[in-house]
């Protein structure tokens, strides 16, 4: 390990890590003792562990040089070996056996913090508020530890609100580890504050920029990164894409007992970082352009925050987004009562209640199976005349065996009733008769398919089909590489590509395949110009 780091000495009481601040690197203790503590909401520290010689300080944040989630202080004189993030990644790859142990420890430490809900920002607001759910979901989907405190039931939260003179109408507030207080922030504001995302170097030209960190984008990033290409991945929300919303993926090769989409995608995200892939999440791409007017790169990605990123090739992996139901007033219930995911957060809100779910595909089926284990009853509203025409047999059979699920066919939601953002009842028509029914239900789940995320491509010259999916390969002409779009050096993979199989395995396969085409394309476009390497 000494080949990868430099030795440092610390005096007794010296701080080695401070929550919210970037530390020098992964730190191996050579002699002495270091206390690692975490903040609790009252502002005090609680001891997690005392490390001695042979142990190391660090968790996943150190892999990408992000701010620390805990504090660490020398207890007496300490000698240590400090390994900066790029050298740590080199170590993980060069020393496979040691690398595996370290990587496992980094992941397990992050899981420990996530399970305890410690080490990250504190969200203070009503537990059932849609805004609290939005922020908590965002952090959960990005694998970032956090705590939620409800001032109605938690006296510490109440005290914090009084201390910061916060008007209840301004809730939720978020206390970041750096000490900053945010009032009902956007996801991007929160991400910036906790150091999840930083500015992109506007002059650096990456070999590949991947738009979208779903299974397709992450696969492309892992294969491109492991083959030595410089890679930037941008995603406007979180890593994992739609797959990150899947309660249990049972048809992905190699996981006979199934795996949650978030766990599968979390592994891919960490793997990509191990290979030095730069992540810009959340960062939204709003346009694709060329710096020159030629068909070739370098290409320019314009971001919603007015930043830009340059790359010699682009992979469009922006997937698809959930379709919304055409029913009056839907927007006002989104967040608190209308949901597009069925994660443990939503399940907790609905515990012991009746819920309605609209949809008939596999994603709907998975959500029904999961929710049925958490709620009193699931009303499954299917527009067609049976469930089996769009859903896999194993899910249809499983749903048939659930006593608390009632499947209603030829069913259409006609109205939503409620106050503010809280749904109180749903009306629907069902069966051949089209009889209208009203039920008191506070939570509605929608799983009614997806549309391609290609708005950002308008004006870019990328040809899409009439539904907006990107055309590639032989769909355009006989000479193109199979995943290449109408512009050379720009590729499309996964759900966003016209004709693709809408499955995790297919998206991952295309992510692996596209890297060979990128190599060929980069070789044709010649070595990076002097300007490009500046």
Ligand X SMILES: Cc1cc2nc3c(=O)[nH]c(=O)nc-3n(C[C@H](O)[C@H](O)[C@H](O)COP(=O)(O)OP(=O)(O)OC[C@H]3O[C@@H](n4cnc5c(N)ncnc54)[C@H](O)[C@@H]3O)c2cc1C
State the residues that interact with ligand X by CB under 6 A: 211-217, 234-237, 241-243, 245-246, 249, 251, 284-285, 317-320, 362-363, 366, 453, 456, 494-496, 502-505, 507
Instruction: Supply the minimum distance, in Å, between the C-beta of residue 456 and ligand X.
Output: 4
Instruction: Supply the minimum distance, in Å, between the C-beta of residue 492 and ligand X.
Output: 9
Q: Judge contact between 288 and 456, C-beta under 8 A.
A: yes
In 52-160, beta strands by DSSP E = 56-57, 71-74, 78-83, 122-124, 147-149
User: How far does Cα 7 stand from its chain's mean position?
Assistant: 36
Nearer Cβ to ligand X (34/338): 338
Q: Which two tokens stand for residue 422?
A: 């809280």
Instruction: Supply the minimum distance, in Å, between the C-beta of residue 46 and ligand X.
Output: 35
Nearer Cβ to ligand X (62/242): 242
Nearer Cβ to ligand X (317/358): 317
**Distance (Å, rounded) from C-alpha 458 to C-alpha 460?**
5
**Distance (Å, rounded) from C-alpha 324 to C-alpha 428?**
16
Nearer Cβ to ligand X (173/268): 268
**Distance (Å, rounded) from C-alpha 225 to C-alpha 212?**
16
Beta bridge partners of 310: 205, 300
Please give the full DSSP string across 73-96, using - where no structure is assigned.
EESS-EEEEEE-HHHHHHHHHHSH
Q: Which two tokens stand for residue 300?
A: 């320019």
Q: 126: helix, coil or strand?
A: coil
Instruction: Supply the minimum distance, in Å, between the C-beta of residue 282 and ligand X.
Output: 8
Q: Judge contact between 210 and 217, C-beta under 8 A.
A: yes
Q: Judge contact between 470 and 457, C-beta under 8 A.
A: yes
Please write down the long-range contacts of 426-435, taking CB distance under 8 Å and 24 or more positions apart. Answer: 426/356, 428/356, 428/381, 430/381, 434/410
Nearer Cβ to ligand X (27/273): 273
Instruction: Supply the minimum distance, in Å, between the C-beta of residue 185 and ligand X.
Output: 19
Instruction: Supply the minimum distance, in Å, between the C-beta of residue 493 and ligand X.
Output: 7
Task: Give the count of beta carbons closer than 10 Å to the beta carbon of residue 237.
Answer: 20
Instruction: Supply the minimum distance, in Å, between the C-beta of residue 502 and ligand X.
Output: 4
Q: Judge contact between 268 and 311, C-beta under 8 A.
A: no
Nearer Cβ to ligand X (58/212): 212
Phi, psi for 523 (deg, rounded to 5): -65, -40
Nearer Cβ to ligand X (10/456): 456
Nearer Cβ to ligand X (66/237): 237
Q: Which two tokens stand for residue 281?
A: 């999440």
Instruction: Supply the minimum distance, in Å, between the C-beta of residue 318 and ligand X.
Output: 4
Q: Judge contact between 160 and 170, C-beta under 8 A.
A: no
Nearer Cβ to ligand X (124/218): 218
Nearer Cβ to ligand X (24/250): 250
Instruction: Supply the minimum distance, in Å, between the C-beta of residue 84 and ligand X.
Output: 29
Nearer Cβ to ligand X (234/464): 234
Residues 6+ apart with CB under 8 A from 257: none
Q: 516: helix, coil or strand?
A: helix
Query: Torsion-angle region of residue 499: left (phi > 0), alpha (psi -120 to 50) or beta?
Result: left
Instruction: Supply the minimum distance, in Å, between the C-beta of residue 363 and ligand X.
Output: 3
Instruction: Supply the minimum distance, in Å, between the C-beta of residue 385 and ligand X.
Output: 23
């Amino acid at each position: 390990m000494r080949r990868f780091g430099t030795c440092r000495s610390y005096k007794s009481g010296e701080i080695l890590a401070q929550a919210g601040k970037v530390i020098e690197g992964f730190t191996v203790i050579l002699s002495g003792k270091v206390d690692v503590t975490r903040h609790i909401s009252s502002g005090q520290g609680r001891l997690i562990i005392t490390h001695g010689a042979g142990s190391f300080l660090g968790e996943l944040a150190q892999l990408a040089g992000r701010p620390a989630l805990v504090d660490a202080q020398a207890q007496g004189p300490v000698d240590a070996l400090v390994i900066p993030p790029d050298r740590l990644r080199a170590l993980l790859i060069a020393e496979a056996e040691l690398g595996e142990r370290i990587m496992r420890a980094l992941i397990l430490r992050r899981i420990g913090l996530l399970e305890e809900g410690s080490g990250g920002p504190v969200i203070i607001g009503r537990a059932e508020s849609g805004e609290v759910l939005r922020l908590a979901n965002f952090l959960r989907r990005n694998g970032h530890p956090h705590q939620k405190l409800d001032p109605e039931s938690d006296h510490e939260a109440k005290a914090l609100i009084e201390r910061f003179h916060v008007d209840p109408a301004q809730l939720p507030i978020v206390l970041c580890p750096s000490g900053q207080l945010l009032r009902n922030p956007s996801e991007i504001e929160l991400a910036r504050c906790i150091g999840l995302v930083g500015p992109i170097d506007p002059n650096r030209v990456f070999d590949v920029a991947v738009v979208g960190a779903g299974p397709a984008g992450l696969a492309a990033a892992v294969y491109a990164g492991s083959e030595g290409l410089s890679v930037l991945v941008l995603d406007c929300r979180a890593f994992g894409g739609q797959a990150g919303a899947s309660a249990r993926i049972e048809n992905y090769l190699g996981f006979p007992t199934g795996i949650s989409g978030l766990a599968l995608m979390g592994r891919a995200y960490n793997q990509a970082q191990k290979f030095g892939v730069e992540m810009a999440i959340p960062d939204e791409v709003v346009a694709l352009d060329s710096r020159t007017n030629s068909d070739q790169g370098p290409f320019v990605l314009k971001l919603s925050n007015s930043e830009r990123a340059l790359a010699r090739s682009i992979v469009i992996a922006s997937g698809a987004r959930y379709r919304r139901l055409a029913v009056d007033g839907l927007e006002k219930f989104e967040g608190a009562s209308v949901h597009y995911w069925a994660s443990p957060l939503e399940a907790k809100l609905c515990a012991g209640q009746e819920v309605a779910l609209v949809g008939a595909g596999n994603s709907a089926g998975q959500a029904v199976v999961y929710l049925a284990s958490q709620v009193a009853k699931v009303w499954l509203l299917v527009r067609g005349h049976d469930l089996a025409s769009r859903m896999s047999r194993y899910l249809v059979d499983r749903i048939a065996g659930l006593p608390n699920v009632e499947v209603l066919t030829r069913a259409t939601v006609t109205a939503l009733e409620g106050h503010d953002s809280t749904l109180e009842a749903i009306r629907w028509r069902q069966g051949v008769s089209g009889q209208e029914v009203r039920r008191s239900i506070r939570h509605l789940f929608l799983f009614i398919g997806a549309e391609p995320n290609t708005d950002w491509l308008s004006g870019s010259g990328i040809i899409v089909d009439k539904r907006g999916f990107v055309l590639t390969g032989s769909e355009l002409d006989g000479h193109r590489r199979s995943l290449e779009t109408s512009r050379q050096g720009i590729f499309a993979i996964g759900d966003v590509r016209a004709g693709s199989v809408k499955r995790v395995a297919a998206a991952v396969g295309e992510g692996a395949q596209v890297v060979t085409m990128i190599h060929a394309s980069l070789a044709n476009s010649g070595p990076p110009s002097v300007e490009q390497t500046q």
